[in-house]
A and B are shown apart, each in its own frame.
Chain A
Amino acid sequence: MIPELGTFALILALLLAIAQSFFGLVGAHLNRQSWMAAVTPTVAGVWVFIALAFGLLTSSFIVNDFTVLYVATNSNSALPLMYRIAAVWGAHEGSLLLWVMILATWALLVAGFSKSLPVAFRARVLGVLGLVGVGFIGFTLFTSSPFARLIPAAQDGADLNPLLQDPALAIHPPMLYMGYVGTAVAFAFAVAAMLSGKLDASWARWTRPWTVAAWMCLTCGIALGSWWAYYVLGWGGWWFWDPVENASFMPWLTTTALIHSLAVTEKRGLFKSWTLLLAIFAFSLSLLGTFLVRSGVLVSVHSFASDPSRGMFILGLLLFFIVGSLTLYAIRAPSLKSEGGFAIVSRESFLLLNNALLVAAAGLILAGELWPLLMDAFDLGKISVGPPYFNLVFLVPALPLVMLLGVGMHASWKRALLETRRKQLLIAAGGAIVVALVLLGIYRSIGAPLTVVGFAAGFFVMASALIEPVSRWRSGQSMPRAALGMAIAHFGVGLFVIGVTGVVSYKVEKDVSLAPGESTAIAGYEFKYLGAKPVTGPNYEAIEARVLVTRGGKPVVDLPTQKRVYRVQRNPMTHAGIDVAWNRDLFVALGDDLGQGKWSMRVQYKPLVRYIWLGALIAAIGGLVAILDRRYRSVRVTESPALKPGAAGETA
């Protein structure tokens, strides 16, 4: 009964979403007030029925209803409750329901916080979101229903993939999806602006907080995935340029560009058509990512077993939204004139460079992602594009981007040079180089050729981000939240760069074969294998090896590492032992029984690795602070006054 109710709720949600897009788009077009007034209740209705469907599926997981095919294939009665809930989005069907659930939630939030927007504009935004909803609720219902029955019922479930039984992975997909789907809001604002033919500073001001919110979720989601891969999957790697990682990184790059471009559109009325295009790109890349993962065109660690009909459906959706929005863009963009110009050295030109570099990086990653598919399609050989390609094409735009960031933060709108902050910037740059050299001294190695550049750039950005808050604090001035958020986010970027530089330059990895009592040394740490014994977990058996780490004869930590075999799926899984300190991680992973009491092990020293995720987290917090700026709360339909030159760091 429960799954049938779930299907029924989805059907009602689909019908309401159709009504939502119809009343929103057609109502605004014909200017029928009563139709537009009907949009808000439909948005609430869609949310209620999707939430009902989601709750019903979750309850099927909680009570172990193995008459539901999706529950039987992805859960098990021995699975702890927390993972039975996380298993709801552990495979294709449920994760789509989550996608739709998050879309409905975004739409509800937009409806709730946009009461002060012009009626027709608001109706259009919600109408476009309704259209996206129709596509994806339809996709869920017609190709991937999580409520299909299994008759006769299974004795017990096939269990959740052991790799997914992890706290970080329980929240990684919802976070990432919130980001992915959040780009739909910026997209809806862009399409509504094109439909109404009006794009002014207030449009940019409405769009900014939603875009930043999506960006924030995307940042956290990607960072969580990276962290999970580091300790569960990757044997200590934090980024693999895996096709699915790229699928989430490309929307991140374009959304980052969009945030910056929106700043120019709001403050200076420039880059209008470019901003629209970026909003379309960001959403299209999110859809493309969904298509590439769900269709089975790309196979990676993340992709679920997939079938062609699903791929065709998403391809159809993808084409509809991309072709539709680009056609609208071609018709409407020429009428959206930007007003005014700017000098070669100005905040505008720095932001233009920022956009060019971010989009170039996204484009080059996209090329690496699609090239093997093209080669294969034309039978030109089976190739793959590996990490060296992506490292190179990402680093080339990213390095100047980071270096320009430290300076660009202090450039003023329109024309100003950097006189006001020249002294502080020089001190920051000099200090950064000194600190970078000191770090090289501490690690007693010059490292990779780019090590000193990476450290110096990272410290420079951090120092530069602090200039404005510190000087305001010292003179007793308050700082607008948007400016403070920007400073925090850029500080996070600098910290991230330090982390990446440290771990790439000075990490040590070693595969060893050890008998009990034997030891191996890396980076001044001695790893002594004490012995292994069997242990039992709630739903797995494991061999646990204990490794004692000492430094200069003094004990540092006793690291246990496990090789687990989960009872239902019988897949072995390594559970690494990790010791965390502010300046490094020590990492031990147990390999195979080599015979004669010896085990293979991978021991690793990962300097500064934590700053990669901490930097990302701080950047996301910066986004949150910026959203809370008072400007966004009291939205009035007025033009924002153009900023006076010289008031650098005011907002952006």
Chain B
Amino acid sequence: MTPRRKRMLAVGGVLLGVGAAAALAFKAFDKNLLYFYDPSQVAAGVAPVGKTFRVGGMVTKGSVQRAPGSLEVRFVLTDYAHTVTVSYTGLLPDLFREGQGVIAHGQLHDGLFVADEVLAKHDEKYMPPEVAKSLKHATPPEDRT
């Protein structure tokens, strides 16, 4: 093989590899991107029905309910403009509590957001950035601590 042909082969190989990686990335992105919506967007019908997405907001005080002995829990997420009710069956994270910002991951069915995962971060001062952003324009009706 001449050096020139060898170089062409090498360049071709690299291009092929990069192309394959890019194709893989786009395909994987396409399937696995999760969009975030706030309760107002859910109320306005922007969020898709029957498709997985993430919703975030503050857990409304006094909204956490569960039937005694049941693993299912319901709570209301708010961005101080609109609310969305979330149902979750399973163990809640340690730092889940009323008045705290959380993100739920799941699907919307008949106006009820059925979550398969609820995230609350370990720092009590922490607020998910998406939630912080969507709350920027709304004024909280009460002092959150």
Contacts and interface: CB of A to CB of B under 8 A. Distances in A.
Interface of A: 161, 163, 233, 235, 299, 301, 305, 341, 356, 360, 363-364, 367-368, 371, 381-386, 388-389, 392-393, 396, 511-513, 515, 569, 571-574, 589, 591-592, 594-596, 598, 600-602
B129 interface: yes
A569 B126 CA distance: 14
Given A385-B29, A388-B32, A356 B69 contact: no
Given A363-B21, A386-B32, A573-B94, 7 more contacts: A368-B25, A368-B29, A383-B33, A389-B29, A392-B32, A595-B66, A596-B68
Contact of B91 (A161, A363, A367, A589): A589
A389 B124 contact: no
Contact of A596 (B69, B95, B122): B69
13 contacts: A299-B121, A364-B25, A382-B35, A382-B133, A385-B32, A392-B32, A513-B69, A513-B71, A571-B95, A572-B94, A594-B66, A601-B91, A602-B90
B112 interface: no
Which of B6, B32, B89, B95 gathers the greatest number of chain A CB atoms within 10 Å?
A: B32
Give chain B's interface residue range (CB within 8 Å of chain A). Answer: 35 or more
Interface in B13-59: 17, 21, 24-25, 28-29, 31-36, 54
A352 to B, nearest CB: 9
Given A360-B17, A572-B95, A511 B33 contact: no
A497 to B, nearest CB: 21
A264 B69 CA distance: 63
B36 A382 contact: yes
Nearest to A509: B90
Interface in B54-84: 54, 66, 68-71
B99 interface: no
A644 to B, nearest CB: 24
A601 B69 CA distance: 12
A594 B68 contact: yes
Contacts of B129: 299
Contacts of B36: 381-384
Contact of A388 (B31, B71, B124): B31
Q: Helix, strand, loop or mixed for chain A's interface?
A: mixed
Nearest to A601: B91
Contacts of B34: 383-386
Q: Which 9 residue pairs spanning A and B have beta carbons closest together?
A: A595-B68, A389-B32, A382-B36, A591-B91, A511-B90, A598-B69, A388-B32, A596-B68, A596-B69
Contacts of B32: 385-386, 388-389, 392
Given A299-B129, A382-B130, A396-B24, A571 B71 contact: no
B120 to A, nearest CB: 11
A199 B126 CA distance: 49
Given A371-B29, A571-B94, A163 B122 contact: yes
A301 B95 CA distance: 12
B8 interface: no
Nearest to A381: B35
Nearest to B73: A592
A240 to B, nearest CB: 11
Given A163-B122, A513-B71, A600 B91 contact: yes
Contacts of B92: 591-592
Nearest to A372: B33
A276 to B, nearest CB: 17
Which of A235, A389, A396, A515 gathers the greatest number of chain B CB atoms within 10 Å?
A: A389
Contacts of B66: 594-595
Interface in B91-119: 91-92, 94-95
B143 interface: no
A426 B21 CA distance: 31
B5 interface: no
B136 interface: no
B142 interface: no
Contacts of B125: 305
A149 to B, nearest CB: 22
A574 B71 contact: no
A385 B69 contact: no
Nearest to B91: A591
A363 B14 CA distance: 14
A235 B130 CA distance: 25
A574 B29 contact: no
Nearest to A595: B68
A596 B69 CA distance: 6
B33 A385 contact: yes
B28 to A, nearest CB: 5
Contact of B89 (A305, A383, A511, A569): A511
A364 B21 contact: yes
Contact of A235 (B91, B122, B124, B133): B91
Contacts of B70: 513, 594
Which of B35, B121, B122 gathers the greatest number of chain A CB atoms within 10 Å?
A: B122
A163 B128 CA distance: 19
